[in-house]
A = this chain, B = another copy of it.
Amino acid sequence: MTAPIPTKDDLLNIRQMCDAFDVTPRTLRFYEAKELIAPLRRGTARLYTYRDRARLKLILRGKRFGFSLEDIRQLLDMYDRAPGQQEAQLRRTYELAADRLAQMERQRAELDEAIAELKEQMAWGGSVLAGFRNAAE
């Protein structure tokens, strides 16, 4: 098998983790230093649980969105601190999420605008290219 799909309670070492997510060991250790993930230890060696894999997935997605690792750390804390929490703390979390959501929606609006502008520019360039094609005949 070229793809030994890990089950929920499999524990992956750092190499398997890197292969699975296409990252380097340095990256995983860096994320750990930044408290984004916290793998188990067998002696000194790291063992990555299902939870770590789920978190890493979210980390990489967050990165594609353009969030900083610090942003992502806060989001992750929010995601899993939810169950069994005191009301006040949960409400704090909720408000943090609301802020984040607003931020994301602003970001989306800006992205939409940028996309529209770029399309406009490209239409202009496209017309110039069309001119070239006409002149070429």
Contact = CB atoms under 8 A, between A and B. Distances in A.
A132 B84 CA distance: 11
A15 to B, nearest CB: 28
B108 A65 contact: no
Copies in the complex: 2
Contact of A65 (B94, B105, B107): B107
Nearest to A91: B129
A25 interface: no
Interface stretch (A3-11, A29-37, A40-48, A113-121): A113-121
Interface string A41-60: 00000000000000000000
Interface of A: 61-62, 64-66, 78-79, 82, 87, 90-91, 93-94, 97-98, 100-101, 104-105, 107-108, 110-112, 114-115, 117-119, 121-122, 124-126, 128-129, 132, 136
